[in-house]
Amino acid sequence: MTTIRPSEPADVEGMFDVVNAAAVAYKGVIPADRWHEPYMPRDELQHEIEAGVAFWVAEEDGRLLGIMGIQDRGDVALVRHAYVAPNLQRKGVGTMLLHHVQALVNKPVLIGTWADASWAIAFYRRNGFLLVPDEIKNALLRKYWSIPARQVETSVVLADGRWMKDHGSAPSAG
């Protein structure tokens, strides 16, 4: 049975492996100047934990299947760093993690991802998120995320129904 639990310090090595195996999907898809290997070095993962990203892991028989983080940013919560081991994708693990972290917060939820990661956008849309219009997304990325300007340009933001309702925002067709 798959269980979802908070990550522990002892998980960091397994999390590092899952993130960087899954992130290979970005290679050749996201802008070349944003790709590096490993995609998320250990110190960056550690920095994200210290910066308040609460990571949850999906586990089965002691094996780490996937991870997802949720970060409180005041009036919104961000879903951060969603990764499922490549051979276990499209089996519902990501959806389990997403439902779990969404249920932890009682505020609008935003997600940022690469504009070219069509599969990730499909995953979030399938789970009820909508693309925020282009003219708003850069301001959101600058306000709530700490990412380089180049990543702002090349990313999109998806929002849950609550954020869309609060902002009277018509979703983007993209």
> What residue ranges bind ligand COA (CB under 6 A)?
22-23, 25, 82-84, 89-95, 113, 117, 119-120, 122-123, 126
52 versus 168: smaller Cβ distance to ligand COA: 52
49 versus 168: smaller Cβ distance to ligand COA: 49
Phi first, then psi, for residue 41 (nearest 5°) are -60, 160
To ligand COA, the closest distance from the beta carbon of 100 in angstroms equals: 12
To ligand COA, the closest distance from the beta carbon of 127 in angstroms equals: 8
To ligand COA, the closest distance from the beta carbon of 117 in angstroms equals: 5
To ligand COA, the closest distance from the beta carbon of 56 in angstroms equals: 12
91 versus 150: smaller Cβ distance to ligand COA: 91
91 versus 162: smaller Cβ distance to ligand COA: 91
To ligand COA, the closest distance from the beta carbon of 16 in angstroms equals: 14
Q: Kind of pairing, strands 63-72 and 77-84? A: antiparallel
Name the token pair of 152: 């702002």
At residue 32, the 3 state secondary structure works out as: helix
Give the number of residues written for the chain.
174
Other C-beta atoms within 10 Å of 106: how many? 7
Question: Which residue's Cβ has the minimum distance to ligand COA?
Answer: 94
89 versus 138: smaller Cβ distance to ligand COA: 89
Give CA 46 to chain center in angstroms. Answer: 16
Whether residue 38 has a cis bond before it, omega within 30° of 0: yes
CA distance 41 to 85: 17
CA distance 139 to 122: 23
